[in-house]
Every structure is written in C-alpha cells, then in structure tokens.
Amino acid sequence: MDESPSVPSADELVDQAVQLMDGHSLDAALGLLNRVLASDSKNLRALINRAIVQRQLGRPTEALQDATDAITLSPHLWKAYNARGNIYSDLGRWSEALADFDAAIQRTSAEAILFHNRANARCDAGDLEGALEDSGRALQINPEFFEAHQSRGHMCLKSGDNEGAIRHYTAMLGAKPNHFSALLSRGIAYQRLGRLQEAEAELSRARESLAGNPQPWYYLGIVNEKQGKYVEALAHFSKAIDLDSRFMFAYIGRAGVRSATGDLDGAIADYTRATELDPKGAWAYYNRGLLRRDNGDLDGALVDFTNAIELDPKYINAYVSRGNARSDRGDLDGALGDYTIAIDLDPRCCDGYHNRAIARQAKGELDGAIADYTKAIDLDSTCSTAYYNRGNARKAKGDLDGAIADYTKTIDLEPGDADAYIHRGIARSAKGDIDGALADYTKAIELTPQSASAYYDRGIARKAKGDLDGAIADYTSAIKLNRKYARAYFSRGCARKAKGDLDGAIADYTKAVDLEPGDADAYHNRGIARATMDDLDGALADYTKAIDLDPKHVRAYYNRAILRQTRGDLGGALVDFTKVIELDPSHYGAFCSRGQSRFESGDYKEAIHDFEEALRLSPPEWSRRAEIEESLKDLRWRV
C-alpha cells in the first residue's frame, strides 16, 4: 500500500518561502506565506516575512498591515519593529521609523542590523552625527558586517570625511571586489581628495562592473575635467546622457566642459535642457545666466538670474550676478539694490561688498565705495582686487598716500599685476616722486611688454624729468603697440614741440585730432606750433576750433587774443581777453594784455584799470612788473 505524501508543516513552508526570498522569487514566496496565514493568521514568522516580501514588491500598505499585526500579536518581538521601521523609512516617515528602530533596540541591543537600519534612517532624516554613531555601534557588534561598512562609507562621504569613506568602502570591497556602489563611491571619494588617477581607475572598474549605468560615466567626466582632459570629459558626459537622456547633472557637467572649451552656445543648450528636466532647479538657471552674460546677452542673463531668485529667494550668488548684469547695462541703482540684498542675506558676502563698492564708485560715491572695499578686505584680506579698486577710489579722492599703500598691498598679493604698478606710478608721479613712478612703469613694461599704456605713462614721467628723448621713445613705443592711441600722439607732439621739432609736433597733433576730432587741447597746441612757425591763419583756425569744442578753454581764448593783437585786430583781441578774464578773474596776463590793447587804441583810463589789476594779481617776482609800473606812470600823466 502506497504512503500518501507528507504535508509540509507551517514552519517548513515559511522556511521554503525564506529560501525563495533569498533567490528573489518573491511572488512564489508570497504564495507560500499566504498559504500559511490562510490556515493560521497569527503565525508570527509568516506575518513578518510576508511584510518583508510585500515591502520588496512595492506594496507598503499591505506590508505595514502585516508588520503592525505582528507587533500587536507579540509586542516584544524586535524583528516586527525592525520590519515596520524599514517600511516607514521607505515612505520617508522618519519619526515613525526611528520610533520602531528604538523599540527594537530596547528589546535587544545585540543585533547589528538594528543599529545599521537606524543609522540609515537617521542619515536620511538629516541626523548625520547620530547616524555615524549608530553605524559605528553596528560595526562594533559585527566588524564583518559589510553592508554597514558601505553605509558608513556613504555617511563619511556625506560628512566630507573622504579618507574615512575610502576605508569603509575598501572593507566592503574586500568581501565583494566588484560591488558597483562601493567602487563608484570610492572613486568619488578619491576624486574629492584630488587623487584623480586613483579615481579614474576606480570609476573605470565601476563602469565595467555595471556597463549600462550612467553614473560612472558622469563621474569620469568630472575627473577628466579636473585633469584638463576636455575631449575625454565631453565624451564621458555625452555617454552618460546617451544611457539616460534625463540625467540632468550630466547635462550640467557637459555644459561646464563646453564652456571651458569656448563652446558657449553648446553650453547654453545643455543648461537649457537641464532647466527643462528640472524647471525648479535654480542652479541651472543661474549657470545659464552666467554664460549668457559672458556671451553679451544681458537681457537673457537677467531673466535667468531672476528665475533663479524666484525659485530660491535666498540664492546669494544669483543676487550678486544679477547685480553684475544690471551694472553692465548701466542700471547702477538696480545693481546696488541686488548687492545690498546679498549682503543682508549674508553679512560676510565679500563679493557683495566688493561689487557694491564698484557700483558706488561708478556713481561717484567715493566714500561709500571706500567703506565697502574696506569691508570686503576685512572679510578677505587676500582679495587683491579690493585693494586695487580701493586704491583707485582713494586716488580719485586725492588720498595719494592711501592709494599708494593699497597698490603696494595689491602688488604684495599679486606680484604680476602690471596695472597695480601703473597706477602706483601715477599716484607717485602726482606726489612728485618721479623716480618712483619711473621704476613702477618700467616694472609694468617688464611684466606686460605689449602694454601701450605703460609706455605712455613712463613717457609722461620722463618728460616731467626733462628727458624729452626718452619720453619721445616711450610715446613712439606706445603708438607702435596701438596705432589709434590719440593721447600718445598728442603727448609726443608736446615733447617734440619742447625740443623745437615743430613739424613733428604739428604732424602728431594732426594725427591726434584725426583720431579724436573732439580733442580741443590738440587743436590748441597745434595752433601754438603753427603760430611759432608764422602760420598765423592756421593758428587762428586751430584756436577757434578749440574754442568751438570747449567754450571754456581759457588758453585758447588767450592765445587767440595774443594772435589777434599781433595782427592788429585790437577789437577781436579785446573780446578774447575779456572772455579770458570772465572765465578766470585772476588771470593777470589777460589784464596786462588787455591793458596793452586799450593803451594802443587810446582808451587810457581803462588801460590804467587793467594794468593796476595785473599788478595787484601778479606775484612779486613777475618779470613784467617794472615795465607795467612805468607804463602806468606814463598813462596817469597822459590822463
């Protein structure tokens, strides 16, 4: 007689279900557990394991019910609390998850898995310190708990302890050499430490471990970008995008490489795609705004910075950058408003103070600008541009010593800053330290041999020292470097005139007015040179043109008056001398010359008045004093 097959017990069915769960045959496992619970709804092992299966199948409501039923049946069973805690963690219900893990640990403190799970929940809830404490406890209980090593590695990575992360990922990889997540994460830690070759090797292993995952390709792109391997970086970011066309950070990474290689349009396109994938991602708008500003699209940049601010009203860099774009457009008040908001959000925002200072300086608010530069320096004593710009503001206020001190500090911080040498030279020259100025200009030329302005400024200093040949040589060098340097032609004309080379001077002044037709001084000086060469008509035309361009040009009126007086046009001369006196009531030369014209026209009474004013205004050492005193005696006798 055949024996009938034995019916498996409930425990045997649960054991079979657990084996199926280990083999990821979840539906089959669920079927066996359902059989057990259909005959015994209070079977704790079946309830707990069915809760685990339901969780893995993505059925949190059913999983929660089973775990809660198990807890109700046996409030002292730690496994039930652990199972429900994991389900709450999946749902992001951290307080309930932590309460369950706490309850499980109260029932037994010898299970590493409980501290491991609570550590993960604490980490996800933002309690990194508590998470690290729990993960450490889990590893104390079981040093071979490799999943705990992996989780602690993630926590170390999150806290910035990259060395610690590497240690724990290495422990994990000792047990599972091809574990994708550990390889990827250790590669990220190497990259953050700047150990780029090790990072590249590790990420390449991760890529081979799971070929279809875009993450290793993305991080390889980051490593290659830091190495300056832009071609490889671009290829890796593009591969990540091929594997996942919605991988926003890969677009952002590729945008950075494209920007670094000059492909601004391509970079803008990638940031645009990033904003499409995450319309609420302020960072992509911000970075696109930076590129649009660099590309000259100020309107587009302003829109992007504004979008970033609307998405994140505390986005300090976005306020600073919008302020920069507004400043570029000439909207200084709008720029000041943005910089001030950035400072209000972060009173230690060095860029906010520095850039607000620039805007204030542009508005002529020098005291406010200097105060802001000073605050920026207090926050960052290595900010060379703040010292340099404060030097410019102090120089504009006439504080030459303060300016020189700031330029000197700039040079200490940035020994290769030619502009700092040039401006310190200008300030030293203004103080009369011509030798110091010459030394600064010469250093600037050594640093930037192609700087036309450095040669020009040294030419000015050499002329002040009486070295006309040296000055002419420097002006000529400036002109060779910049054929449209009108001021260099003008100054070379002055030096040539001082040497008696009137033809050369006239040629230079002519080139200056060709380049800058509104330069009244160039017309005036050419007029002087022409008058010296007896080209009186040309001189008269030049003086008149200078006056047309600058109706307050005292020297042009005076020299035209002298010329008219010389040519016998006493009426015209009187008009011009009178205009000089109107513009400069202390001009004793104009009183003297007008008195002479009045004397020659027979207006002795008014001539006496003018000569008296000339004597009253002139210094005691005036060379014509004795002559005018004699003329006054004669005139008074005549009157």
Exposed/middle/buried for residue 593 (C-beta within 10 Å: 0-12, 13-18, 19+): buried
For residues 285 and 307, the answer to whether their CB atoms sit within 8 Å is yes
In a domain, 349, yes or no: no
Of 363, 366, 403, which is closest to residue 387 (Cα–Cα)?
403
Cβ(131)–Cβ(122) below 8 Å: yes
Does residue 500 belong to any structural domain of this protein? yes
495 and 564 share a domain? no
Q: Measure the CA–CA gap between 106 and 41, rounded to whole angstroms.
A: 27
pLDDT value of position 233: 97
Residues 524, 556: contact at Cβ < 8 Å? yes
The three-state DSSP-derived secondary structure of 104-138 is: HHHHCCCCHHHHHHHHHHHHHHCCHHHHHHHHHHH
Tokens encoding 238: 């593009």
pLDDT digits (tens, 9 = 90+) for 492-512: 999 999 999 999 999 999 999
Residues 560 and 590 in one domain: yes
SS3 content of the chain, % helix, strand, coil (to 5): 80, 0, 20
**Distance from C-alpha of 128 to C-alpha of 198, rounded to nearest angstrom:** 27
2: DSSP letter:
P
H or E stretch covering 636:
helix 625-638
Q: Do 556 and 546 sit in the same domain of this protein?
A: no
Size (the chain), residues: 639
- Average pLDDT in the 347-358 region? 98
Residue 571, domain member (yes or no):
yes
Q: Are the CB atoms for 495 and 464 separated by under 8 Å?
A: no
**What's the CA gap between 519 and 157, in Å, rounded?**
65
Q: DSSP assignment of 346-379, as one string?
A: -TT-HHHHHHHHHHHHHTT-HHHHHHHHHHHHHH
Q: Taking a C-beta distance cutoff of 8 angstroms, is the pair 190, 173 a contact?
A: no
pLDDT value, residue 3: 55
Nearest CA among 207, 210, 203 for reference residue 186: 203
Task: Round the average pLDDT of the chain to a whole number and report it.
Answer: 95
What are the pLDDT digits (tens) for 369-402?
A: 999 999 999 999 999 999 999 999 999 999 999 9
Q: How many domains does the chain have?
A: 2
Amino acid letter, residue 243: L
**Do 557 and 635 share a structural domain?**
yes
Average pLDDT over residues 567-588: 96
Burial bucket for residue 5 (CB in 10 Å: 0-12, 13-18, 19+):
exposed
Token pair recorded at residue 299: 């309107």
Q: Is the pLDDT of residue 35 over 50?
A: yes
Calculate what percentage of the chain has a pLDDT beyond 90. 96
Which two structure tokens, joined as six digits, stand for 578? 């009178």
602 & 579 share domain: yes
The residue among 504, 521, 550 that closes a domain is 550
Enclosing domain of residue 631: 552-639
CA 402 distance to own-chain centroid:
26
Q: Does 504 reside within a domain?
A: yes
Q: Is residue 300 part of a domain?
A: no
How would you label 456-475 residue by residue, b for 16+ Cβ within 10 Å and e otherwise? bbbbbbbbeeebbebbbbbb
Residue 508: which of 525, 555, 547, 520 has the closest Cα? 525
Domain boundary among 529, 550, 571: 550
pLDDT digits (tens, 9 = 90+) for 294-316: 999 999 999 999 999 999 999 99
The CATH number of whichever domain residue 604 belongs to comes to 1.25.40.10
Question: In the predicted model, what is the mean pLDDT of residues 274-284?
Answer: 94
When pLDDT is averaged across residues 616-629 and rounded to a whole number, the result is 94
Distance CA 497, CA 492 (A): 8
How many distinct helices (H) and strands (E) make up the chain?
A: 37, 0
The answer to whether position 449 is within a domain reads: no
Q: What is the pLDDT of residue 1?
A: 45
What's the rounded mean pLDDT across residues 215-243?
97
- Rounded Cα–Cα distance for residues 188 and 202 (Å): 9
| pLDDT score, position 348 | 97
Is 519 in the same domain as 577?
no
Q: What is the pLDDT of residues 149-193, one digit of tens each?
A: 999 999 999 999 999 999 999 999 999 999 999 999 999 999 999
Query: How far apart are the C-alpha atoms of 571 and 632, rounded to whole Å?
Result: 22
Query: Is there a single domain that holds both residue 591 and residue 626?
Result: yes
Q: pLDDT at residue 267 above 80?
A: yes
Contact 362, 393 (CB under 8 A): no
Instruction: Assess if residue 310 is contained within a domain.
Output: no
The alpha carbon of residue 476 and the mean position of all alpha carbons in its chain are separated, in whole angstroms, by 37
Q: Decide if 362 is inside a domain.
A: no
Among 550, 567, 583, residue at a domain's last position: 550
pTM of the model: 0.77
